[in-house]
Amino acid sequence: MEISKIGIVGAGQMGNGIAHVCALAGYEIWLSDVDQTQLDNAVALIERNLERQVSRDKISAAEKSDALDRIHATLSLSDLGQTDLVIEAATERETVKQAIFEDLLPHLQPHTILTSNTSSISITRLASRTDRPEKFMGFHFMNPVPVMQLVELIRGIATDDDTFKACKAVVDRLGKTAATAEDFPAFIVNRILMPMINEAVYTLYEGVGSVQSIDESMKLGANHPMGPLELADFIGLDTCLAIMNVLHDGLADTKYRPCPLLTKYVEAGWLGRKTGRGFYDYRGETPVPTR
């Protein structure tokens, strides 16, 4: 099946990155959100990120303006009815995602493939509540989307071969690399990454190290490009906590217990970079540790 029109639900950090790379690859994009400010910010950010690529000679000015012309921002899910593929990239909460699919289904054409960019939630369960479990799968981009090479493709129990092939062809056209993962909580990348981040928060909680010493230790001692707490802020602490809860509930193992300090930061609304404060305070010139 040839895909030419893509709908993206959720214009946060992932949605805007997905819109950016898909528009640049020639797909016509409908980007939707419940919040007009998020849509405006997303389009402005895509414009700035494309401009950066032009200034580094990665793309031409014409490619930038063509990509921007292909992005249609909308508050209305019904506008996504004309698309061949929908990538849901809204908040990491199962009830939110379920409600989106419910609202979306009456507008879709029979051939439209539905996917979710979820970091952890069961693809099989999300699919089972739609009218097309065989045309449903996980399409998991990494953050920041324009930079990161990997896309995890996750088949639900009912996903058919044509759907998988169509999604794989999109990944190929984006110039990215697909890794297939089985549908178990948090798939591959986050099954490994999130317990490490959670352990870093425990290390802070128990006073073994400060924010700075933990991040520096993992950068200089394990050769990680970012420290785990810096990375948690970058991902979003609400998303990290949601993923740990899915691992804890889905695998019923206490080793996935979310650190109470992570919960406290989320309760405070200190969600990391996107809210200006997390394990670091980003409101000044340089990030300052908050503990």
**Residues at the contact surface with ligand NAD, assessed by CB under 6 A:** 9-15, 33-35, 38, 89-92, 96, 100, 117-119, 140-143, 235-236, 239, 274
Verify whether residue 140 is a known catalytic residue: yes
- Between residues 54 and 148, which has the closer beta carbon with respect to ligand NAD? 148
- For tokens 């693809």, the residue is 123
CB of 58 to ligand NAD, least distance (A): 22
- Between residues 214 and 244, which has the closer beta carbon with respect to ligand NAD? 244
CB of 92 to ligand NAD, least distance (A): 4
- Between residues 12 and 278, which has the closer beta carbon with respect to ligand NAD? 12
CB of 102 to ligand NAD, least distance (A): 10
Verify whether residue 152 is a known catalytic residue: yes
- Between residues 55 and 76, which has the closer beta carbon with respect to ligand NAD? 76
Verify whether residue 119 is a known catalytic residue: yes
CB of 26 to ligand NAD, least distance (A): 23
| Catalytic residue ranges | 119, 140, 152, 190
